[in-house]
Amino acid sequence: MLEKVVHTKQAFTEELQKAATLQDLEQTRIKYLARSGEIAALFEGMKSAAPAEKPALGKTLNELRQYAQAQFDEKKLLLEQSAKPKEVPFDLTLPGRSKPIGTKHPVTQVMEEIKRIFRSMGFSVENGPEIESDYYNFEALNFAPDHPARDMQDTIFIADKILLRTHTSPVQIRVMEKQKPPVRAIMPGWAYRNEAVSARSLVAFHQIEGLYVDEGVTFSELKGTLVAFAKQFYGSSIKYRFRPSFFPFTEPSAEMDITCYLCNGKGCRICKHSGWLEVLGSGMVHPHVFQAVGYDAEKYTGYAFGMGIERTALLRYGIDDIRILYENDVRFLKQF
């Protein structure tokens, strides 16, 4: 019986060493360590051994089973570790991986492009507060308290005569108050109006105003400046026109149109079948505005203009709904 134990131990050890895969190892376990395996058969054969031999034989068989299990566990751990994919060592000499970053918002891109064009014409960039007084937002711009033009803009009031500015024109007053002519500046920023949100209008939006004041400034210079801007921004092949209009702070006043970007001037629903799209308002600064800031209206003349950045972005990129600019849809924004 002891000879069988020694033979089984030797055979198990040899087969365990030959096992090259986990599948081979499992076959060895079934053959020797399973309930119907060879070691279990040795325990079963101990019943026929002489009573005097059983204690020593039982001890030997227990030692064999413990040895076989320990050797099996060690071999299994080794094969499992070797089966794992080897970790690729980190190469410190490799360049770093750049993280993808987002692009600038289309409104920001349009704002920066407009500022670049007017800077190249000699305009500085000025800023002012978004919370304004009635004086700067209306009165100094020739809006009398009972002036019907106040109804053109549905104002958001915060307190008595304190409001969210309805345009960036108040910055013109602040610039002229602190600076004597010549003045050549643009004023970009947020503006606010209590309007219903639609495909063409928002409650909060961006505007950019322009102002040039000096001796002998003419309407022809205004037209030349705006045409030069439009051709740089929209393309040299565009067609344009000026139409008479009304603004309390300019006289005479005009609106500038360009050919519709969708129908190329043939007429569609965006241009209301006229073939033209309004891009900005403009005019010669009203003498009453000069009086409000202490300029001599007999000595100085000037022009002013203004445009909405969101609507300009619609024209620039062929978008037909202003609301999509602020829906934060990455599928839309990543195109810019």
Residue by residue, DSSP assigns 78-112 as HHHHHHSPPPPPP-TTSPPPPPP-PPPPHHHHHHH
Beta bridge partners, 259, equal 276
pLDDT for the residue 305: 97
Strand ranges for 193-269 from DSSP E: 204-214, 240-247, 250-259
Beta bridge partners of 302: 213
User: What is the CA angle 105-206-171, rounded to 5?
Assistant: 135
245-258 b/e (C-beta count within 10 Å ≥ 16 → b): eebbbbeebbbbbb
pLDDT band at 86 (very low <50, low <70, confident <90, very high): low
Q: For the residues 116-127, what does the mean pLDDT come to?
A: 96
Alpha carbon dihedral 41, 42, 48, 52, in 10-degree steps, equals -160
If you average pLDDT over residues 87-113, what whole number do you get? 85
Residue 311 to residues 106, 208, 260, 283, 308: CA-CA distances in angstroms? 11, 12, 13, 20, 5
List beta partners, residue 186: 125, 210
- Three-class SS of residue 12? helix
pLDDT band at 153 (very low <50, low <70, confident <90, very high): low
pLDDT digits (tens, 9 = 90+) for 192-223: 998 888 878 889 999 999 999 999 999 999 99
Q: Does the pLDDT of residue 308 top 90, yes or no?
A: yes
Predicted TM-score (pTM) above 0.75? no
